Amino acid sequence: MNMTPKEIVNYLDDYIIGQNDAKKTIALALRNRYRRMRLSDELQEEIMPKNILMIGSTGIGKTEIARRMAKMMDLPFVKVEASKYTEVGFVGRDVESMIRDLVYESMNLVTKEFETKIQEDIDAEVIRQIMEILVPSLPQGATDNARESFIKTYNIMETKLLSGSMDDKKITIELPKRTHVEIIDSNLPMDMSAMSESLNNMLGKMNKDTIKKEVTIEVAKKLLRSEASENLLDQEAIKTEAVKRAQNGGIIFLDEIDKIATGNSKNQDPSKEGVQRDLLPIVEGSNVQTKYGQIKTDHILFIAAGAFHVSKPSDLIPELQGRFPLRVELNPLDEDDLYQILTNTKNSLLRQYEALLSVEGVTLQFEDDAVRAFAALSVNANEKTEDIGARRLHTVIERVLEDISFDADEKSGETIIVTKNLVHEKLDSLVENEDTARYIL
């Protein structure tokens, strides 16, 4: 993760139109994570992350920015919805579970990194084990001749094995018998997940038995690989690194934070305020017990997002507001933005439809005028009914392409051109009528 803020913004630009302030703020926050991690422990302690609050109406890219960011980084990242939590002591998911989710992500990430590092060792070990089955070793005191032909056979077999040409051949492998209790639900109370962990350790130690399995070499490679990676990976080192990474580089995207704001409205919901109060220590910095150890949350970066249509940021309890010092507003999208989203983003909706239909042998082409019409009609529908931002593009395009998509299998080999006329023909009457627009688009 040593991308400069500019590089991060450039990357995001490939997928997200506009919203430059939000991109910049996020890029800076990420860079500061990286900068901080290079400092002495003492200084690291001092530098607190500046949490971000993203404000903007629905469908304009808040979650999308976070989603893209997550893909780009090798920092542990989870996206959670604030509205899904319930107050501690009530039935439901308590807020601490987001920290457990984060560590779980961190474990996955770090395990993958470690695996990549020892990939060669793992591969060599797997090949060694299969070769042992394929070519039984020489008896003691074999003659020179026997030894020579052994080496020859061994080399030929090994080349074949490595090339994959023997993948269909069946062999019998031996695997340790595992009685494994897999409990990964991070919502379990801490002591339960710790219990499942120690239970597994115990079972693992008790069980020295192996089972024999007849499988193809292809499958054997897979089974032996996961076995070998388990044996070769230094689990303790992974755990330590994963905890460290979660604590110092972890990012939690707290979506729909506006849904737990209460303010002074009449329908105040005490349980919402309870969730906010539970959130406070986590955002502020506290220790959360997870099955991989205790996590200090002081340096986890929180990015909260919400539409704040009904409530305002000031409807959050003041202590929590204060914990999100960086505010960015995302702008509503206009017609040209929507046009850009369709034409100027990687894997845009249009590219997705083209790809889907190409599976049926149908070549789909969009005339530029048609794409403009998609954007214009989307704005129109957003104004007439509810403003759902770029999400409107999905419904509008789906309407137009529905029939084409439905009998694409009969049109294999054809090129279908989506024209402006076709778009208007399918949509005009729907958009004009408020009721149909509301329910169908």
Ligand X SMILES: Nc1ncnc2c1ncn2[C@@H]1O[C@H](COP(=O)(O)OP(=O)(O)OP(=O)(O)O)[C@@H](O)[C@H]1O
Q: How far apart are CA 80 and CA 95, in angstroms?
A: 10
Q: Three-state DSSP class for 210? A: strand
Which of residues 50, 93, 160, 391 is near ligand X by CB under 6 A?
391
CB of 48 to Mg ion, least distance (A): 26
**Closer residue to ligand X, CB minimum distance, 68 or 221:** 68
Strand partners, 364: 416
Determine the length of the chain. Answer: 441
Which 9-38 residues touch ligand X, going by CB under 6 A? Answer: 16-19
Cβ nearer to ligand X, comparing 391 with 420:
391
User: With 0-12 CB in 10 A as exposed, 13-18 as middle and 19+ as buried, what is 75?
Assistant: buried
**Is the sign of the CA dihedral 356, 360, 363, 368 positive or negative?**
negative
Closest CA to 22 of 66, 58, 67: 66
Contacting ligand X (CB under 6 A), which of 107, 161, 390, 441? Answer: 390
382 in contact with ligand X (CB under 6 A): no
Q: How far apart are CA 68 and CA 15, in angstroms?
A: 8
Closer by beta carbon to ligand X, 17 or else 288: 17
| Binds 313: which of Mg ion, ligand X, none (CB < 5-8 Å by kind) | none
Tell the smallest beta-carbon distance from residue 344 to ligand X (Å). 9
Distance, CA of 381 to CA of 383 (rounded, Å): 5
Of 22, 307, 328, 418, the one binding ligand X by CB under 6 A: 307
Q: Which residue, 321 or 340, is less far from ligand X as judged by CB?
A: 340
Q: In terms of Cα–Cα distance, which of 325, 277, 332 is closest to 53? A: 325
Q: Which does 78 bind (CB under 5 to 8 A by kind): ligand X, Mg ion, none?
A: none
User: Binding of ligand X at residue 341 (CB under 6 A)?
Assistant: yes
Question: What, of ligand X, Mg ion, none, does residue 389 touch, CB below 5 to 8 Å by kind?
Answer: ligand X
Quick check: 313 binds ligand X (CB under 6 A)?
no
DSSP strand pairing (170-176 vs 415-418): unpaired
Residue 81 burial (CB count, 10 A): 16
Q: With CB cut-offs between 5 and 8 Å by kind, which of Mg ion, ligand X, none does residue 249 bind?
A: none
Binding site for ligand X (CB under 6 A): 16-19, 58-64, 307, 341, 345, 389-391
